[in-house]
Structure 1
Amino acid sequence: LANDDLSLFSVVLKDPRNADQELIALNRDNIASRAVGPESAPPSMVRKIGFGGRDWSLAYYAKTNAVVRAKQTAAIVAAIGLALTGIVCGLFGYVAYNNLRLSREIQVRIGFERRLTAVIDELNHRVKNILAVIQSIVTRTLRHGSDIDVARELLIGRIHAMSNVVSLLSESQWQGVKLKGLFEARAIPHAERIAVSGPDIAVSARAAQSLSLLFFELASHSDEGLSLVGKHPHIVAHWEVTGEEPDAIFNFRWEEFNTSEATRRADSDFGLILLDRVAPEALGGASKRFFTDVSYVYELTAPMETVVDMTERDRTEQLSAPVKRGR
C-alpha cells in the first residue's frame, strides 16, 4: 500500500468485514484507517484479491486536486491562446508590412515615372531650343552670296561655342554656368588677348547660351591683323552688378583698345542681329555698340533676375533631385 509522491494513484485496502472503513498507507511505516461515507468520492478502479480466507478489495483513487487541475488547465489554455494569438498577430503583421512595403514601392515607382516623364519633356524642350538656335546659325551664316571660306569658319566657331556651353551646362546638371567659364580658349578666339574681370556669377542655361554666342561673335570679329599702333588690339571684358535685389542690374562692357572702324573686321549680318537684338531680348535688356577715338565698345545691360533666372534653376533642381520614398 506504499503511496509515494511519484505514484499516480492512492491505493487503499478495504476489509470485506468492515465496508465503512479502509486502510491507507501514509508512508512506508504508517498505515491509517479512514471512514468511507456516502459523500466520499468513488475510487477510479477496484480490484478483488483473496488471501487469509477472505476477499479483499484494492481501491485506486486518482491523485487529483480540483484547484491544481483548474490552474493547470488554465495555464495550458492560456499558453495555447497566447501561442495562437502570437501566430495570428505575426501573420497579420507580416501581411500588413508587405502591403505597406508594396504600397511604398508603388508610390516610388509612380513618382519615378512622373519624374522621368518630366525630365524627358524638359530634355525635349531644351533640345528643340538648341536645334532651333543651330538652325538659325546655319541659315544666317550660309546666306546667299556670302564668302564660303569665311562662312565655314564662322559656322564651325559658332557651333563650337554652342557645344562648349552645352558641355558646361551638362557638367553642372543644367544648374547654370560660371560666367568666366564662357571665356575658355577652346570656345573663344583670341582668348589670350582678353582681360576678363568681374564677379564670377552663375548665369542660367538660357543666358549662358546667348552670352556664349555673344562673346564668340565679339571675339571672332576683333582685328586679326595689326591695330592702330602696329600690335594686336588689347581686349577688356568687364562686368559688374549694380543695385540691390530684386532690382539689381547686370552691366557688361567689351572694349577693344587701339581699334578703329577701319581696322576692325565688319560684323556679319548674323553678328549684328545677335549683338543688337537676339542677346538683349533673350536677357530682357538693351545693348549699344560704338567706336571711340581709340577703341571699339559693346555694352549690354540686363536685369539680374533674368541673367540668373532662379525659376529655371529651381525647376532643374526639382528634376534632378532623387525620388523620396513615401512614408
Structure 2
Amino acid sequence: MQLAQPRDPATLRAYEALLQATPDLLYVFDLQHRFVYANDALLTMWGMRWEEAAGKTCLEVGYEPWHAAMHDEEIERVIATRAPIRGDVPFPHHAKGVRIYDYIFTPVIGADGEVEAIAGSTRDVTDRRLHEEHLELLVNELNHRVKNTLSTVQSLVRQTLGTAQDLDDGGARIESRLFALSRAHDVLTRENWHSADIHDIVEGAIAPYETEVGQRFELSGPPCRVNPQRALALAMALHELATNAVKYGALSRDDGEVHITWDCTHAGEGAAMQFTWRECGGPAVEAPKRRGFGSRLLERGLRNDLGGDVELAYAPEGVVFRATAPLESAPSETFAEAELETEAR
C-alpha cells in the first residue's frame, strides 16, 4: 500500500522520519483489520518489534477482547460510511501503566475511489484529562467555598447588627470580624486551602493584639493541622475571645496574659484536637447576663463548625475556653448555615 505518490527517495525518507519522530501513535489497517504499518511510538507502547506485530489484528497483538471488538466494529463503519470516526479509550502502556488515548480512524481512498485501508492516529491525553478533572474539582471547591463564605458573612452581619448599640458600633464590629476572617483566609491561601497549622491560625488571630512577640500571649502546642472549615471557625473564635479580653478580660489590663495551648492525639477512633484559651491577670470575671453573637459563635458556632465539643467558662480569675474536635472529617453544616436556618424558623 502506498501512503503517497512521490517517487523521490528523499521525500519518502522525510515522510518516514516524520512518522517516526511524532509522539503520536500512527498506524494503518488493511481491510481485514490487520496492521500493515505501526510507527515506533506505537511499537514502544506495545513493547513489541514490528516483526512481531506485522499482519496481526488488535486481538492478536494483545488487546482486550472488548477493545479489539470495538475497533473491529469501528473499522467496518469507516469502510461502510467512508467517514472518519473519533473516540477515546483506556489502554495499558508497556512502560507507563494504563493511559487514556484519544484516537481517530480515517479512510484511505484508492485510485478506484474505494476504501483501500484505514489510517489511524492516537494521542495520549491522560495528563490533559487529569488536568481537566483537577480544574473541575477546583471550580466545585471554589463554588462551595464562596457559598460558605457568603453564608458566614450574611450571618455575621445580621447577628452583629442585631446586638449593636448603633450603626457605627455595628459597622466597627463587622469590619473587625471581616478582618479576622480575611487573616484566616490568608493562612489557608498560603497552604492552597488544603489545611492549616493551628500555630499559624493562632498567630494570625492574635497579631493585632500583640505589640511584642510573647508579651501578652503564651503559645504552646505541637504541629497540628486542621481542614479549612475548622481553621476559619477557630480563627473567628479567637477573634471573639481576643475582642472580649480587650474589653472586659485579661487584655484590658497591662499585666494581663492569655495562655493558649493545644494538642493532637491519634489514639482510639482517630486523630483529635484539644484547644484551650485561658486568661489570667485581668479583672474578676462575671458571667454575662445576656448572650450576644460572640458568645453564641463561641459556644454554638464552634461546636457546629468543629464537629466537636466546646466549653466557655467564666471563672473569677479569667475566662477559660476549651474545644475538642476530630481531625479526620469535616462537619456537614456550618454555623452560618445553622444560624440562617434558625432565623428562617
Q: With structure 1 as the length reference, what TM-score do the two structures score? A: 0.58
Q: Corresponding residue for 2:222?
A: 199
SS at match of 2:323: strand
Percent identity reads: 26
Amino acid at match of 1:90: E
User: Given the alignment, which residue of 212, 227, 243 partners 1:220?
Assistant: 243
1:159-238 correspondence to structure 2 within 5 Å: 159-184=178-203, 188-191=207-210, 192-224=215-247, 231-238=254-261
SS at match of 1:272: helix
1:1-20 correspondence to structure 2 within 5 Å: none
Amino acid at match of 2:193: W
User: Given the alignment, which residue of 285, 301, 309 partners 1:261?
Assistant: 285
Q: Corresponding residue for 2:326?
A: 303
**Aligned-residue CA RMSD in angstroms?**
3.6
Residue 124 (str. 1) matches residue 143 (str. 2) = yes
Over 3 Å counting, the alpha-carbon distance change for 1:217 and 1:99 in structure 2 is same
Are the aligned partners of 2:227 and 2:327 in contact in 1 as well (CA < 8 Å)? no
Amino acid at match of 2:222: P
Aligned pair count reads: 225
Over 3 Å counting, the alpha-carbon distance change for 1:306 and 1:248 in structure 2 is same
Over 3 Å counting, the alpha-carbon distance change for 1:261 and 1:285 in structure 2 is same
Over 3 Å counting, the alpha-carbon distance change for 1:96 and 1:160 in structure 2 is closer
Are the aligned partners of 2:245 and 2:252 in contact in 1 as well (CA < 8 Å)? no
SS at match of 1:305: coil
User: Given the alignment, which residue of 256, 264, 271 partners 2:294?
Assistant: 271
Q: Shift in Å at residue 208 of structure 1?
A: 0.6
Q: Deviations over 1:260-301 (max 9, x none)?
A: 334x98886221221111111222211111133412111111
Are the aligned partners of 2:279 and 2:320 in contact in 1 as well (CA < 8 Å)? yes
Are the aligned partners of 1:238 and 1:254 in contact in 2 as well (CA < 8 Å)? yes
1:105-116 correspondence to structure 2 within 5 Å: 106-116=125-135
**Is 243-252 or 152-161 further displaced after alignment?**
243-252
Q: Which has more radius of gyration? A: 1
Amino acid at match of 2:285: E
1:4-83 correspondence to structure 2 within 5 Å: none
Q: Corresponding residue for 1:90?
A: 16
Q: Shift in Å at residue 224 of structure 1?
A: 3.6
Are the aligned partners of 1:283 and 1:306 in contact in 2 as well (CA < 8 Å)? no
Amino acid at match of 1:281: N
Supply the distance in 1 between the matched residues of 2:142 and 2:250 (Cα, whole angstroms). Answer: 45
Q: Deviations over 1:26-58 (max 9, x none)?
A: xxxxxxxxxxxxxxxxxxxxxxxxxxxxxxxxx
Structure 1: runs of 5 or more not aligned: 1-82, 310-327
Are the aligned partners of 1:223 and 1:233 in contact in 2 as well (CA < 8 Å)? no
Structure 2: runs of 5 or more not aligned: 1-8, 27-40, 42-120, 332-345
SS at match of 1:130: helix
Residue 244 (str. 1) matches residue 267 (str. 2) = yes
Amino acid at match of 2:140: D
Amino acid at match of 1:148: L
Amino acid at match of 1:269: G
SS at match of 1:296: strand
Are the aligned partners of 1:160 and 1:187 in contact in 2 as well (CA < 8 Å)? no
Supply the distance in 2 between the matched residues of 1:299 and 1:289 (Cα, whole angstroms). Answer: 7
Supply the distance in 2 between the matched residues of 1:109 and 1:99 (Cα, whole angstroms). Answer: 17
Over 3 Å counting, the alpha-carbon distance change for 1:128 and 1:141 in structure 2 is same
Q: Corresponding residue for 2:312?
A: 289
Q: Corresponding residue for 1:71?
A: none
**Greater relative contact order structure (CA < 8 Å, 6+ sep):** 1
Q: Deviations over 1:158-184 (max 9, x none)?
A: 111111111111111112112111223
Amino acid at match of 1:196: L
SS at match of 1:273: helix
Over 3 Å counting, the alpha-carbon distance change for 1:267 and 1:153 in structure 2 is farther
Supply the distance in 1 between the matched residues of 2:153 and 2:264 (Cα, whole angstroms). Answer: 30
Over 3 Å counting, the alpha-carbon distance change for 1:231 and 1:147 in structure 2 is same
SS at match of 1:241: strand
Supply the distance in 2 between the matched residues of 1:161 and 1:229 (Cα, whole angstroms). Answer: 20
Q: Corresponding residue for 1:147?
A: 166
